[in-house]
Amino acid sequence: MARRIAAGAAYGGGSVGLIGAATVGLVLAEVQLAKRQVGGGTAPVPPSANGRYGVAFAGPTDPLRFVMLGDSTAAGQGVRRAGQTPGALLASGLAAVAERPVDLRNVALPGARSDDLDRQVSLVLADPSGVPDVCVIMIGANDVTHRMPATQSVRCLSTAVRRLRTAGAEVVVGTCPDLGTIEPVYQPLRWLARRVSRQLAAAQTIGAVEQGGRTVSLGDLLGPEFEANPRELFGPDNYHPSAEGYATAAMAMLPTLCAVLGLWPESDHLDGSRREDMLPVAKAASQAAREAGTEVTGARAPWALLKHRRRRRLPAHTEPAKRHGVDAADGGPPPPAPPPSGSGATWRPARERP
């Protein structure tokens, strides 16, 4: 299905249906019930996290230019402090690993769907300061909830990645999250939401990788945590992540963000002990959609690398990254990366630990 969606996006195909007509009545009833419960609270307006991080590393080298694009998840809706947004967390981590200042610009728009990426990319490329070194795109949830045709969604994302790559920017895409993890959504809508989300995520991976980008599957990355601790990982509107939820997602993306800039100590060589492999891009995309936190990067067409990068703690000797002279978290250092997968440890940001 993901291959069909991606092919339709590439060759101008129409909409590809994702659910059977026999379930439409039941799904619509479930949707209305979910709408009354999801977003029952109020999500604060995303705080602006734009600015310079890692000023302690200022030197003769120009700062890295980093841009966030996408929807409310990329903007950080649901938290009240700039340092809790994914853009600030990633900029802080990138500055600490690179030991170099990072200038963050966030053009993401809450409520945006993939067809808004054209406007966002135009804003980025019109910036007089120049083309960014790396861009992170987080998009897809609103495409699903607003029933945007999957082929159109992937076509818009692929075009955005191509424009940024052609201009010279590296691109990392956080694919559509698993909407089946949202607490107020019940069966069978939960099952359908999970299926549609994963199909779109896989198709996004195919489209982005074929245009020279890398992807990290967000999927059900927070699924077990959402189910066990929904009040901690959801924001006040029961839909957007909380500060801890954003931190978990951001730290999953940081290794790929660093790798694409040549900063991570791991190479793109495959590690069989971590179930890494070189696969046809459609198969790699499908596997990544099923296992959150998985990176897919293009190799020789039609092959792609399936990577499970270790998440490492930030160097202990570095000072906290800062934004305009203030700690990036508005009062404390950025949270450390969680322990490596398989360590058995449960990670929580330092200020959330008992």
Query: Helices (H), strands (E): how many in the chain?
Result: 12, 11
Spatial distance between the Cα atoms of 236 and 162, rounded to a whole number of angstroms: 36
The SS3 of residue 32 is: helix
Angle at 219 between CA 225 and CA 207, to 5 degrees: 165
Catalytic residue from among 71, 72, 92, 242? 72
Catalytic residue from among 237, 271, 277, 330? 237
Here the tokens at position 53 are: 């991080």
Q: 300 phi and psi, to 5 degrees?
A: -95, 120
Catalytic residue from among 114, 116, 220, 240? 240
240 included as an active-site residue: yes
Contact 121/156 with Cβ under 8 angstroms?
A: no
237 included as an active-site residue: yes
Here the tokens at position 132 are: 């960014």
72 included as an active-site residue: yes
DSSP assignments along 178-246, one per residue? -GGG-TT--TTHHHHHHHHHHHHHHHHHHHHHHTT-EEE--BTTTHHHHHH-HHHHB-TTSSSB-HHHH
Per DSSP, what are the bridge partners of residue 234?
A: 241
Alpha carbon distances (Å) from 69 to 65, 81, 113, 196, 343? 13, 19, 11, 22, 32
The SS3 of residue 21 is: helix
Spatial distance between the Cα atoms of 291 and 305, rounded to a whole number of angstroms: 14
Strands 214-216, 170-174: pairing is: parallel
Q: 29 phi and psi, to 5 degrees?
A: -65, -40
Which residues are part of the catalytic machinery? Answer: 72, 237, 240
